[in-house]
Amino acid sequence: MCIYQERRHVYDNTLAVRQDIVETLGVEQDGWISEDRWRKEAHQCIYEAVVAAMGSEKDRQDMKMMWPFDEVKFEVNPVSPLDSQGMS
């Protein structure tokens, strides 16, 4: 696969994930949300779940770079949040 196709694939997947996150969290496309609806824990949990689903360190770094929302801690263990809670 050429570099363009690979980058395009990453970009398209990132956009799809981003749209799912926007809809799930009820935020604007740029990540804005009114203060009364902001739930830091929900944003962090979704970020951790998305990162845990990434297949490689490169994919995790791509997602970190494209993550559109503030106030999440980027240094997370690539283990599913459900695993850490004993729910898997």
User: Which pLDDT score, from 0 to 100, does residue 87 have?
Assistant: 46
Q: How many domains does the chain divide into? A: 1
| Structural domain of 64 | 3-28+36-84
The 10s digit of each residue's pLDDT in 47-87 is 888 888 888 888 888 778 777 776 666 664 544 444 445 44
User: Which pLDDT score, from 0 to 100, does residue 88 have?
Assistant: 43
The 10s digit of each residue's pLDDT in 7-42 is 898 888 878 877 888 888 777 777 677 777 777 778
Whole-prediction pTM: 0.54
HSE value, Cβ hemisphere, 13 Å, CA-based, for 54? 21
**Left if phi > 0, otherwise alpha if psi is -120 to 50, otherwise beta: which for 26?**
left
